[in-house]
Amino acid sequence: MPSYTLNVNGKDHVVSVSSSSMPLLWVLRDVIGLTGTKYGCGIEICGACTVWLNGQPEKSCDVDVSSAAGKRITTIEGLSADRSHPAQKAWILHQVPQCGYCQSGMLMRVAGAMAAGHHGSSIASEVNNVCVCGTYPRIKTAVSGL
């Protein structure tokens, strides 16, 4: 059984998995126990599984564990321990979530755009995650002030 060292939210985790091609999403959720990253479509369309690899947003459903080894992985749990990230504050202020399922991936994508120096409407045009509840007007309102 292959083993990999993954640096997740600043902490090293040695994981043994059945296959080197196991998606990072399943390693995060089922092996490490970080369930904030969600499974949505499994084909890189919806964005519910978005995490950061070396500071860049990536859809973890299509990243093999072997490809993630040696990179810094940040999940929604590592964005901020107390919901103090500006994107999280905006989400709360504007009551963005309905069901909330897609929100961790959405927040990781927005926070990634912010880290890249994007603001307001440029963030909204860059985020193409799918929200089945249709909270897009609230999302646009929330990111407009970022």
Under DSSP, the state recorded for 73 is E
The structure's pTM equals 0.93
Q: Could you tell me the two tokens for 108?
A: 């990781």
Q: Which residue, 67, 52, 74, is CA-closest to 2?
A: 67
> Per-residue pLDDT for the chain (146 aa), expressed as one digit of tens each?
899 999 999 999 999 999 999 999 999 999 999 999 999 998 999 999 999 999 999 999 999 999 999 999 999 999 998 999 999 999 999 999 999 899 999 999 999 999 999 998 899 888 889 999 999 999 999 999 99
Q: Is the CB of residue 79 less than 8 Å from the CB of residue 112?
A: no
Predicted local confidence at residue 125, as pLDDT: 85
Predicted local confidence at residue 29, as pLDDT: 98
